[in-house]
Amino acid sequence: MSNKNFDINNLWREKEEVLDLTHQVSKEFLRALPHRNVLPSKEDVLNLEQFVYKLPENATNATAIIKELNTLGSPGTMLTASPRYFGFVNGGALPASIAAMWLATVWDQSPTMKLMSPTVCKLEKVVEEWIVDILNLPSDTTCSYVTGTTTADILCLVGARNYVLKKYGWDVVKKGLIGAPKIRVIVGEEVHTTMLRALRVIGIGNEQIEKVSVNKAGVIDITALPRFNDEPTIVCLNAGNTDTGGFDDFNYIIDKAKKYGAWVHVDGAFGLWARTSQHYRYLTKGIEKADSWATDGHKWLNTPYDSGIALFRNERAIQESIQLKANYLIQDSEDPMNTTLETSRRARAVELWAALKSLGKRGVSEMIDNSCRLTKYFESQLKAAGFEILNEVFINQVMVSFGSSKKTKLMIKAIQDDGLAWFSGTNWQGKEAMRISVSNWATTTTDIDRIMELILKLNKEIKA
């Protein structure tokens, strides 16, 4: 049975035609990335208003839909995948990871249970082994594939909360949190805001969070570390400060915390990948002693967006915290749903598998090294031009001041408005700065040279 607007045969006929068109316009978009301005024009942003209309009463052909999306949407995008986008830690998706994501979307799998998606569940276990190996984490580490580091933090901290309370006789699964012993949470003053959000989500109030003072690199000053006591405690550390790229002293802090049975969690949204490099691995010394870690594939590994990874050693603590059973489910003890927050989710591990395989262990290391080399090159060019670098450059983060706070803000705005490249601003210990994050596989010294020409030109104009 069919009618004018819902015609099954017609929908089947549209499939190949619309996928061919999508392939064509996607290739055109990618070809233009190295040449287009990062910032969309004001006219292209205004044209997005053409998307605003009431839902049509009748069906629209799939190819017409893609044509509209491409005509209006593509020009209006901020090109975060551009090799000249440095605003936040946004990687550009590797070719194999894009193609794998397309194929996984066609598969339309939800890897909740092995019964539902044998292929993706198998790939998740393979990727787990690969990631644990390349990051040199303990062999008993388990991976869960989530939306991003915020969700990874939440998942790990739920397990941490229940684990430390259980040690002191309180079962959260049975009793909830009302009346539970107070949990002490220790973080650095430069803790990432998403970690604070994750702590709020699991029921930790601001009064329970002790912020330890940091040094000039934005990492915990170990001389200011508070005394640990015999009480439920969670310690949250940073692998890669979002402004400086600095790393907490994992060896010292984790050893101290472990003497009192604390759970140690590390937010390594991008910095954890420094562990793959022979040149920068020293920054992560001792990180393997933690209980859990959170990172993103869509940052420094350069997979498409919506690809976070939660890693934890105490799988049982995670399972007990989020266990889910229903009569209609046909569950296995090794099903991914036992260690992740979502029951319905996309097959994120497919593009992770493709990215890792496309580069290999050496390629991942070389990609990380290349980003750090380009960052140092950027730093040297800015210094040579007489601008002030506000941080020691550890990995892929640079902060530059163009003089007064007012002038720095003007320079950032002028660069953004020009459109050639895009940087964000930050305030580092009371001083305005432009923040540079080099994390796209496609960035080259030529890109940086072009940007330096623009910076010098705008600097002269603003001086005048």
Beta-strand relationship, 233-238 and 184-188 = parallel
Beta-strand relationship, 184-188 and 209-212 = parallel
Closest CA to 88 of 305, 237, 356, 322: 305
Q: In terms of domains, do 310 and 447 share one?
A: no
For residue 426, the tally of other CB atoms under 10 A from its CB is: 15
The contacts of residue 297 (CB under 8 Å, 6+ apart) are 303, 307, 308, 309, 348, 351, 352, 355
Amino acid identity, position 25: V
Q: Please write the tens of the pLDDT for every residue from 113-136.
A: 888 899 999 999 999 999 999 999
R_g over Cα of the chain: 24
The contacts of residue 131 (CB under 8 Å, 6+ apart) are 137, 143, 309, 311, 352, 356
Among 56, 73, 90, residue at a domain's last position: 73
Q: Residue 410's domain is classified under what CATH number? A: 3.90.1150.170
> Which of these ranges, 228-242, 304-318, 320-334, 441-455, has the smallest mean pLDDT?
320-334
Among 356, 386, 412, residue at a domain's last position: 356
Q: In terms of domains, do 382 and 338 share one?
A: no
Q: In terms of domains, do 373 and 343 share one?
A: no
Q: Is the pLDDT of residue 1 over 60?
A: no
Q: Is the pLDDT of residue 194 over 90?
A: yes
Q: Please write the tens of the pLDDT for every residue from 253-268.
A: 999 999 999 999 999 9
What domain range includes position 240? 98-356
Contact 422, 38 (CB under 8 A): yes
Q: Is the pLDDT of residue 88 over 90?
A: no
The stretch 311-318 carries a mean pLDDT of 96
Closest CA to 103 of 359, 324, 304: 304
Q: Is 212 helix (H, G, I), strand (E, B) or coil?
A: strand
pLDDT value, residue 328: 79
Q: Please write the tens of the pLDDT for every residue from 425-461.
A: 999 999 999 999 999 999 999 999 999 999 999 999 9
Contact 155, 345 (CB under 8 A): no
Closest CA to 245 of 379, 109, 134: 379
pLDDT value, residue 4: 75
Q: What is the pTM of this model?
A: 0.95
Q: Please write the tens of the pLDDT for every residue from 395-411.
A: 999 999 999 999 999 99
pLDDT value, residue 3: 59
Beta strand extents in 195-245 (DSSP E only) = 209-212, 233-238
- Beta-bridge partner residues of 311: 143, 293
Among 356, 375, 401, residue at a domain's last position: 356
Sheet holding 397-401, edge to edge: 388-389, 397-401, 431-437, 424-428
pLDDT value, residue 113: 87
Q: In terms of domains, do 224 and 152 share one?
A: yes
Contact 337, 112 (CB under 8 A): yes
Q: Please write the tens of the pLDDT for every residue from 285-299.
A: 999 999 999 999 999
Distance CA 321, CA 149 (A): 19
The stretch 74-87 carries a mean pLDDT of 95
The stretch 401-426 carries a mean pLDDT of 96
Q: In terms of domains, do 212 and 329 share one?
A: yes
Residue 112 lies in a domain: yes
Q: What is the separation of C-alpha 279 from the centre of its chain, rounded to a whole number of angstroms?
A: 22
Q: Is 143 helix (H, G, I), strand (E, B) or coil?
A: strand
The pair of three-digit structure tokens given for residue 454, joined into one six-digit string: 């623009």
Distance CA 253, CA 249 (A): 6
Q: Please write the tens of the pLDDT for every residue from 40-70.
A: 999 999 999 999 999 999 999 999 999 999 9
The contacts of residue 161 (CB under 8 Å, 6+ apart) are 172, 183, 202, 203, 204, 234, 321
Q: In terms of domains, do 181 and 227 share one?
A: yes
The stretch 180-185 carries a mean pLDDT of 96
Domain count for the chain: 3
Residue 90 lies in a domain: no
Residue 400 lies in a domain: yes
The stretch 330-338 carries a mean pLDDT of 82
